[in-house]
Structure 1
Amino acid sequence: MANKVDPNGALVLFSGGQDSTTCLAWALARYERVETLGFDYGQRHRIELDCRQNLRDKMLAIKPEWRGRLGDDHTVDLASLGAISDTALTSNVAIEMQANGLPNTFVPGRNIIFLTFAAALAYRRGLKHLVGGMCETDFSGYPDCRDDTIKALQVALNLGMDSRFVLETPLMWIDKAQTWELAEETGGQALIDLIIEDSHTCYLGERGGRHEWGHGCGTCPACELRAAGYRRYRSRKTV
């Protein structure tokens, strides 16, 4: 049976990366009850899952009110998704473009599956808002990150579960520089420092050296996007 729906409750898809950490802070600033959900699908960069708890713990020190709002964390084993995927995120192969124009880092159905499982959990936990870091401004062309996909999925989930979930995508129309700006607006320099030191975005799963924007190989598409966004963010601050 579903619990009574809390209109001030949110479930954040929290991977341990820059975008999901920013989304978690965004949710903590808006909702009274926030829970987090991570997925283990055999991703090559599984190290991101090891960052999650540390990030959650340290975020509690950023703003006193966040401590009372951050609730349970959940993880879901989706090994079957990795098993049926043949991508650079689930196999040790070089990252490259495919004949269909998409990079081979695209995991077909991933966000659709993630949000479906998130909705099932939110149904049980009585949480109205599902928060994800999908974006179609600075992204690799993944079709399941598009606003149209998210809106269509919201309709399907609400029809299929007879619910009124709201799928929130605070990063949908902003670029990576603006994502850094949103983090600063939400959690100040403390959140910027936390993202740099403790989050993980690198597709290759390398912590690597400490760059000005954080840890990672520095050359994969995820690292390059994060680095370029950070440089634009810093340049705007000095103008």
Structure 2
Amino acid sequence: MTRSNKALLLFSGGQDSATCLAWALDQFDHVETIGFHYGQRHDVEMSCRETIRRTIPDLKPEWAGKLGQDHVLDLSVLGQMSETALTRDVEIEMNEDGLPNTFVPGRNLVFLTFAGALAYRRGITALIGGMCEADFSGYPDCHKDTLDAQMNALSLGLAKPMTLETPLMFLSKAAAWELCGELGGEALVEVVNRETHSCYKGDHETLNDWGYGCGTCPACELRAAGWRGYEAGQKGSSGK
């Protein structure tokens, strides 16, 4: 059921946020998007955003006219203070603390703070994010408890109840592809597969059956495994 209000989507240009865009258009009357340049080595994801914004609303008549303004903020200082494989051209590996060195400390907390401030100015109280703690790289700022605490702080600091919708929070990557199909059918799956970017190394030239990417970084491995699971499920449901 469509809600009679507005939402601001944290929109990176990746698989998860593109799926969340379709979900948001199903759920809200008016959806705005926000993206961040933060020195990410896969900044090519930002160039994918406009194609996705232009394409997805045309897939279903009920989505037409719901997508509002796009906002892009420069948070390059986050990359300047983060010596990570996501903001530096270094080999991707695991740190001694068990986290991959692609973890940018505080990234989602900073994103939510700026998104919350923008939403406040725009008269929006609902944020949407593609964070997931079921099938992810282990980043602590993707956990629901962390995000709930941050949203509580935002609500208190802005003196206005702010909410965060995370439709992918407890879904595997395969289930996220399934949700994509449920929302917009094969047409949406095709758009998300071919037009989004997930690869941490910024490879948007190598086309695989699951989309563009190097195929070896953690983001590509998660996306590829999810696609395999989704394909297997589709074949099973069709009796092939």
Common fold, TM-score beyond 0.5?
Answer: yes
Where does structure 1 lack aligned partners over 5 or more consecutive residues? 1-5
Structure 1 position 183 matched with structure 2 position 217: no
Q: Does 1:32 align with 2:33?
A: no
What percentage of aligned pairs have identical amino acids? 58
Corresponding residue for residue 207 of structure 2: 210
Shift of 1:63: 0.9
Q: Conserved in 2, the CA contact under 8 Å of 1:7 and 1:127? A: no
Q: Is the 8 A contact 2:4 2:29 kept in 1?
A: no
- C-alpha RMSD of the superposition: 1.0
Letter in 1 for 2:33: T
Rounded Cα–Cα distance in structure 2 between residues aligned with 1:70 and 1:7: 14
**In the alignment, which residue of structure 1 is the partner of 2:221?**
224
Is the CA contact (8 Å cut-off) linking 1:62 and 1:187 kept in structure 2? Answer: yes
Take 1:139 and 1:178, find their aligned partners in 2: how far apart are those partners?
Answer: 13
1:136·1:146 contact (CA, 8 Å) conserved in 2? yes
Q: d(CA) in 2 for partners of 1:203 and 1:209? A: 13
TM-superposed deviation, 1:215: 0.7
Task: Give the match's secondary structure for 1:203.
Answer: coil
- Give the residue type in structure 1 aligned to 2:177: W
Q: Distance in 2 between matches of 1:187 and 1:114?
A: 27
Looking at structure 1, the residues matched to 128 and 168 of structure 2 have their Cα atoms a distance apart, in angstroms, of 10
Q: Deviations over 1:117-173 (max 9, x none)?
A: 000000000112100011111011100000000111111000000111111111110
C-alpha distance in structure 2 between counterparts of 1:88 and 1:9, whole Å: 35
Could you give the per-residue CA deviations for residues 170-216 of structure 1, whole angstroms, max 9, x where no partner exists? 11101000000011111111110001111000000001322111111
Q: Which residue of 2 aligns with 1:12?
A: 9
> What is aligned with 1:108?
105
1:144 lines up with 2:141 in the alignment:
yes
Q: What residue in structure 2 maps to residue 192 of structure 1?
A: 189
SS at match of 2:138: coil
TM-score normalized with structure 1 length: 0.96
Equivalents in 2 of 1:96, 1:115: separation in Å? Answer: 27
Query: Does 2:50 correspond to 1:85?
Result: no
Letter in structure 1 aligned against 2:15:
Q
Could you say which residue in structure 2 is the equivalent of 1:60?
Answer: 57
Which structure 2 segments of 5+ residues have no match?
none
* Aligned counterparts of 1:173 and 1:7: Cα–Cα separation in 2: 26
Name the structure 1 match of 2:47.
50
Q: Which amino acid aligns with 2:135?
A: D
Q: Distance in 1 between matches of 2:77 and 2:86?
A: 14
Q: Distance in 2 between matches of 1:67 and 1:121?
A: 24
Question: Helix, strand or coil for the counterpart of 1:60?
Answer: helix
Q: Give the whole-Å Cα distance in 1 for the aligned partners of 2:98 and 2:216.
A: 20
Deviation track 1:74-115 (CA, whole Å, cap 9, x = no partner) reads 000001000000000000000000111110000000000000
1:127 partnered with 2:124: yes
The Cα shift of 1:238 comes to 1.1
Q: TM-score w.r.t. structure 2 length? A: 0.96
Once the two structures are TM-superposed, the CA of residue 7 in structure 1 deviates from its matched residue by: 6.0
In the alignment, residue 118 of structure 2 is paired with which amino acid? Answer: L
Report how many aligned residue pairs link the two structures. 234
1:118 paired residue among 102, 105, 115: 115
Moved over 4 A (4+): none
Q: Return closer, same or farther for 1:161/1:7 CA change in 2, 3 Å cut-off.
A: farther
CA distance in structure 1 between the aligned counterparts of 2:204 and 2:29, rounded to whole angstroms: 33
Residue in 2 that maps onto 1:3: none
